[in-house]
């Protein structure tokens, strides 16, 4: 199965410092995984097998857990048999059908 996850995770107890340092830390973890991904304004899309993707989600959580007292995580996944190159493929498939 090809799993595409859109992941947002951020601390809720760090308002003074802004969230981008924490999101950058999470993006570094995602980058180290080697999985194909796309950073967007509201979350990062990650593609891989189920175990791979969930392992990255776990590492993202652990990267924040150490110094954050409250964390919010939002995740949606589209899981499909026999799909390849889903990150670019889904976008291209929509664009070619637009007026």
Per CB under 8 A, residues contacting a copy of itself are 1, 4-6, 8, 12-15, 18, 20-21, 23-24, 27-28, 31, 38-43, 45, 47, 50, 54, 57-58, 61, 65, 69-81, 86-88, 90-91, 93-99
Q: How many CA atoms lie within 13 A of 86 on its CB side?
A: 21
**Shortest spacing between CB 28 and a copy of itself, in angstroms:** 5
The sign of the dihedral angle between the CA atoms of 43, 34, 94, 78 is: negative
**Shortest spacing between CB 61 and a copy of itself, in angstroms:** 6
Residues 6+ apart with CB under 8 A from 50: 1, 3, 79
**Shortest spacing between CB 6 and a copy of itself, in angstroms:** 4
């Amino acid at each position: 199965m090809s799993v595409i996850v859109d992941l947002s995770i951020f601390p809720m107890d760090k308002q003074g410092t802004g969230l981008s340092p924490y999101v950058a830390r999470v993006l570094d973890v995602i980058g180290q995984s080697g999985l194909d991904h796309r950073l967007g304004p509201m979350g990062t899309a990650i593609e891989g097998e189920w175990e791979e993707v969930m392992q990255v989600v776990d590492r993202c959580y652990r990267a924040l857990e150490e110094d954050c007292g409250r964390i919010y995580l939002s995740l949606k996944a589209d899981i499909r048999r026999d799909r390849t190159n889903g990150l670019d493929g889904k976008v291209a498939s929509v664009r070619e059908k637009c007026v």
